[in-house]
Amino acid sequence: MSRLDSSPNVSSTFDSKSLESSRQTQLLVSVRDALEAQVTLDGGVDWIDLKEPSRGALGAVASAIAEEVVNLVGNRAPVSAAAGELLDWPDSPAQELLNITGVDLLKLGLAGCSEIPHWQKLWLNAAAQLAAAGKGLVAVCYADYVAARAPSPSEVLGLAGEFSGSTLLIDTFDKSLGPLSSHLSTKVLAQILSEAKSHNMRTVVAGKLRFADVTQLPLELIDLIAVRGAVCRGERSGPLDAGKVSKFVRLIRTRNGKFS
Ligand SMILES: O=C[C@H](O)COP(=O)(O)O
């Protein structure tokens, strides 16, 4: 019996119409509250992600904030949420996000998991728990996986790639270690994304991306570009800058034009 034969069905939660992949690359922006969500809606952002940036790469917002944001957004954009790290999940207050209707995908990072022999089992258990709540678990590849003591991208794909239609996020764990390109060359990034696409996964690329980085990314393999710091005033824990949000939206649309 394969691992999948004995695993709970976690793929059925990815069939939501609101989460269908677009033929063009879309822009996701991480927001910490409803005020910031309004800024992204006004700016034309495609996808809203809930995250408290002062709590780390995948810091979770409080469930009350998540509820406020989904009520504000309604059907205007899909909403996902960061939920911290997998190793913290069993006792995490972020579990309250499971009760928020309208948050369809949760992200759990794999920092520290390379030192845990059974991290795959923990991931599958979390995926099954999310599926029971009608939510999908995003597979997170940290580009700085050595520093994060996380599994390598190929190890993550080896597990999550079995769930056709699931989502792969490539991000950075330690934001002080530079942008994505400090850790992955365009060639290696494209290889990871191609493999994810061969498994029919939705691909999301993040990691302290700056405006200039977008020109180097293989957009034809990317469903969503995800940013926070690049569209903030000052550091990524600062407030969103409406002008930068609009500029990033225009940049992605212009780049899409070159591929359409
Ligand atoms: O999901 C995307 C992250 O919030 C990216 O954050 P960052 O652009 O500050 O690395």
Domains and CATH numbers, the chain: 23-137+207-257 (3.20.20.70)
Confidence at 8, pLDDT banded by 50, 70, 90: very low
Residue, of 8 and 24, whose pLDDT is higher: 24
Residue 171 confidence (pLDDT) above 50: yes
Amino acid 161: pLDDT:
80
pLDDT at 4 over 80: no
DSSP 138-162: EEEEETTHHHHT---HHHHHHHHTT
- The one-letter amino acid code at 134 reads G
- Name the band, by pLDDT with cuts 50, 70 and 90, for residue 77: very high
If you measure from the C-alpha of residue 175 to the centroid of ligand 1, how many angstroms do you get, rounded to a whole number? 9
Q: What's 240's DSSP letter?
A: B
Q: Are 141 and 153 in contact (CB under 8 A)?
A: yes
Nearest to 154 by CA among 136, 174, 168, 135: 168
Does residue 2 register a pLDDT over 60?
no
pLDDT band at 21 (very low <50, low <70, confident <90, very high): very low
* Structure confidence at residue 258 (pLDDT): 66
CB distance 105 to 135 below 8 Å = yes
The answer on pLDDT for 165 being more than 80 is no
Contacts of 156 (CB under 8 A, 6+ apart): 110, 139, 140, 141, 168
Residue percentage of the chain with pLDDT more than 90: 87
What is the interface pTM, i.e. ipTM, of the complex? 0.97
Give 24: exposed, middle or buried? Use CB within 10 Å, 0-12, 13-18, 19+. middle
Q: How close is the Cα of 237 to the center of ligand 1, in Å?
A: 10
The yes-or-no verdict on residue 17 having pLDDT over 70 is no
Strand partners, 29: 48, 227
Cβ atoms 192, 229 nearer than 8 A: no
Probe target for ligand 1 pocket from 51, 140, 181, with the most ligand atoms within 8 Å of CB = 51
Atom of ligand 1 nearest to the CA of 227: 8
The C-alpha atoms of residue 49 and residue 171 are separated, in whole angstroms, by: 14
Task: Looking at the chain, list the stretches that DSSP marks H as alpha helix, in order from N- to C-terminal side.
Answer: 34-43, 63-73, 119-132, 145-148, 153-160, 186-198, 242-257
Ligand 1 nearest atom to the CA of residue 107, by list position: 1
**Per-residue model confidence as pLDDT tens digits over 215-241:** 999 999 999 999 999 999 999 999 999
Residue 88 contacts residue 117 (beta carbons within 8 Å): no
Cα of 126 vs centre of ligand 1, distance in Å, is: 23
DSSP secondary structure code for residue 22 in this structure? P
Which atom of ligand 1 lies at the shortest distance from residue 82's CA?
1
